[in-house]
Amino acid sequence: MGAEETSSSIPETPAGKSQLKRIYDWVLSWAGTPYAVPMLVVLAFAEASFFPIPPDVLLIALSLARPRSAMRYALAAALGSVCGGVLGYGIGYSLWSLTADWFFTYIPGFTPDLFQQVGDLFARYDFWTVFAAGFTPIPYKVFTIAAGVFKINLPVFILASLVSRSLRFYLVAWLLRRYGDRARAFIERYFNLLTLLVLSLVILTLVIWKFFPHN
């Protein structure tokens, strides 16, 4: 995933892209250090509420360097992300009145209109809304905080986050462990499309299960 594809949290201006590239390079610089795995956890934790670079960047670098440990790295990323999601939920649940202006001002993607749309989605499909945000390119951080703002059931939120984040990171790790550097090019170019396709298949399966006899 190139720096220009990793997040919508920084404006699409030359200065914004340059800032994003610096953060991207800084994240990658941890890959060859003894602190790479703890940093992966920290990165996954922070990205779930405010950080612009997804943990996939470091997960890919580590999994390519040590394919046999790829699944362990995926677990670290998933646990860090879910814990960070709980922090985002807490911000939305308890601190949104104090932090809303900051998020709306400094984190593009956080807008009142979007939050209302997310609230409508939560009212209809609480589990599946969190699942979609956790598995696909939809900004997960917006949904973690919104889940707290709209008082989504916390166990449902944690379960949906754990399932979706684990599926995403384990899929990345499996592809890299199985296909090595060839998988990286595929992930950088097509992974977001793949996650959307998988989500579409899940939704189609649920629709068929609901509306067609299955005795």
**pLDDT on residue 108:** 64
What is the DSSP track for 21-73?
Answer: HHHHHHHHHTTTSTTHHHHHHHHHHHHTTT-SS-THHHHHHHHHH-GGGHHHH
Minimal CA–CA distance to 115: which of 94, 127, 101, 135? 101
- Between CA 192 and CA 173 the distance in angstroms is 15
Q: Please tell me the distance from the alpha carbon of residue 126 to that of residue 134, in angstroms, as a whole number.
A: 13
- The single-letter DSSP state of residue 140 is H
Judged by average pLDDT, the poorest of 4-13, 196-205, 206-215 is 4-13
Query: What number is the average pLDDT over the span 100-122?
Result: 84
| Host H or E run for residue 122 | helix 112-124
Q: Which residue has the higher pLDDT, 197 or 215?
A: 197
Lowest mean pLDDT among 76-80, 95-99, 147-151, 191-195: 191-195
| Domain spans, the chain | 3-211
pLDDT tens-digit readout, 130-163: 988 888 878 888 899 999 999 999 999 999 999 9
Would you say how long the chain is, in residues?
215
CB-based contacts of 141: which residues, under 8 Å, 6+ apart? 9, 47, 48, 49, 50, 51, 88, 107, 109
Express each pLDDT in 14-73 by its tens digit. Answer: 555 677 678 878 888 888 889 999 999 999 999 998 887 889 989 999 999 899 999 999
106-124: b (≥16 Cβ within 10 Å) or e: ebbebeeeebeebbebbee
Q: What CA–CA distance (Å, rounded) separates 169 from 174?
A: 9
Please give the pLDDT value at position 137.
78
